[in-house]
Amino acid sequence: GHYIPNTTILNSTLRFLISKSTSVYIYACTESKVKEWRREKTEEKEKKKKTEKLKNNNMGCLHFSPSKTIKPFTLLLLFILFCCTTAAFNDLSTISFDEGYLPLFGDTNGNLVRSPSGRNVRLLLDRFTGSGFISSRMHRYGFFSANIKLPSDNTAGICVAFYTSNADVFEKTHDELDFEFLGNIEGKPWRFQTNLYGNGSTSRGREERYSLWFDPTKEFHRYSILWTAKNVIFYIDETPIREVVRSEEMGGDYPSKPMSLYATIWDASNWATSGGKYKVNYKYAPFVAEFKDFVQGGCPVDPIEESTAAAGCEESDAQLESNDYSVITPRRRLAMRKFRQRYMYYSYCYDTLRYPVPPPECVIIPSEQQHFKDTGRLKFGGSHKRRSRRRGRTPVTSSPVDAFM
């Protein structure tokens, strides 16, 4: 028997990989069943008829009984396939608001509201002020994540931001990684953009803009930023939507100084919706963004003593890079490519008017590039338009990654 954690296995996939006549039992169980599995394995040695019992038990495992011996290399491939391509971030350790964050603004006006448990926070925008919070520590690399639900109804002109930055410490050379959710007029969907700055490179914006495959106002979804010395990955739920790989050519444009995590809601009427055409309508106020299930991983440091603190981050950095979310598996990479094909409507990498020579981190994909104008915006009638006619027939899927498989 072989234990393969946190995996849902389809019969058809296993039968494709394993000969029907094999004598090895393969179990795909949840981690909570490991102890039970081991105990029953011991009992199996004492009772030759245990096989029939296992088939009828209620462990929540898939059971296969073949008749030839599987080679160790084959078992390793099976483990990689079913363990390492699993979609879920099952090991996330969440914290309460007070364990990792402080009010930034709006709390004195009652626009930052914590739940009695301290695990949920609401940020409000009204005609007097917006609101926001900041992490209580700065981190040199990390994983920052939260479940977020956005305001509903007419949200034109609103920006809800979930981002890392150090602009308060390094005013002229700041680094930044952004999720910025852009409101819309009633009946139109929210859109959002991701961005990256390093060493004050604000004149070289690296924006990408997208639509979503769900309504972000109906339920919570997890938005995550992974930041390591090697790469940056933006996630929605367990689907990677963008990766920036560090290269020598990027130089200081790659964020490398300690940053704090921020979340804000504010009036961005001058640019957020249709380039500023639609302003915030405070008739619909207050606008409420909700946050919960916070994750804050990485190495906390003092930015003033960065060089000294960095020496103690090796273990933390290694742990960060060993986590499930630090690897884009082939399955996740395929999901990312399909997301970008269907939902990305602007990319600075394809904006040849702005960047005649694409910035060094850009990976130009010809099949993707053909759908964009030289302004970096999606061509009329591109792949996104063709799909929109069938959007109502999108099947319900078991996981976010499955939505793009």
Q: Which domain holds residue 211?
A: 97-326
The pLDDT mean for the chain works out to: 81
Neighbouring-strand partners of residue 195: 178
DSSP state of 349: G
| pTM tops 0.95 | no
Active-site amino acid positions: 176, 180
Alpha helical stretches, state H, 84-129: 97-100
In this prediction, residue 304 carries a pLDDT of 73
In this prediction, residue 290 carries a pLDDT of 98
Number of domains in the chain: 1
Residue 231 domain-assigned (yes or no): yes
In this prediction, residue 136 carries a pLDDT of 96
Nearest to 120 by CA among 136, 96, 141: 96
Residue 394 domain-assigned (yes or no): no
Q: Is the pLDDT of residue 226 over 50?
A: yes
Tens digit of each residue's pLDDT (9 = 90 or more) over 44-56: 666 655 444 444 4
Q: Is the pLDDT of residue 77 over 80?
A: no
Helix-then-strand count for the chain, H and E: 10, 18
Residue 12 domain-assigned (yes or no): no
What Å distances lie between residue 85 and 14, 29, 76, 307, 326, CA to CA?
A: 14, 15, 13, 36, 12
SS3 call for 384: helix
Instruction: Give the Cα-Cα-Cα angle 178, 182, 187 (nearest 5 degrees).
Output: 155
Query: What span, in angstroms and rounded, lies between the C-alpha atoms of 54 and 36?
Result: 12
In this prediction, residue 353 carries a pLDDT of 95
Tens digit of each residue's pLDDT (9 = 90 or more) over 140-162: 999 999 999 999 999 999 999 99
Phi, psi values for residue 232, rounded to 5°:
-125, 135
Alpha helical stretches, state H, 47-94: 50-56, 72-83
Sign of CA dihedral 226, 212, 120, 332: negative
Query: CATH code at 135?
Result: 2.60.120.200
Contact 139, 299 (CB under 8 A): yes
Residue 314 domain-assigned (yes or no): yes
Tokens of 16: 């494709």
Q: Which amino acid is at 98?
A: D
In a 13 Å sphere around the CA of 316, the CA atoms on its Cβ side amount to 18
Tokens of 105: 């603004």
Residue 48 domain-assigned (yes or no): no
In this prediction, residue 402 carries a pLDDT of 64
Q: Is the pLDDT of residue 183 over 90?
A: yes
